[in-house]
Amino acid sequence: QHSFLLSPNAASPRRLRALRRTPILVHAGAEEAMLDSILDFCDAADGAGADVAARVFEREVHAFQAFGFSPSWPAAAADLR
């Protein structure tokens, strides 16, 4: 019943449609272990009518934005403006 709390990919279409209320920005590293799941979620949310902007950064890993020394960090930070 609450599997969507563990994985957004398990969300029902009704719950995905609720995402239409706010834009979604998704950053992922190309070396991210969950990249396929992240992109599946983006596709599902987009299909439900959400405003999704997804960007995959080459040669980056999970949570690369947390590391200020990452070469992609300035571009990722610029997306937040």
Q: What is the pLDDT along the chain (81 residues), one digit of tens a residue?
A: 545 556 777 778 888 888 888 899 999 999 999 999 999 999 988 998 999 999 999 999 999 988 888 999 999 999 988
Summarize pLDDT for 42-54 with one digit per residue, the tens. 998 899 899 999 9
Query: What local confidence, expressed as pLDDT, does residue 29 receive?
Result: 96
Residues 10, 45: Cα–Cα separation, whole Å: 12
Note the pLDDT of residue 31.
Answer: 96
Compute the distance between CA of residue 23 and CA of residue 43 in angstroms, rounded to an integer.
Answer: 14
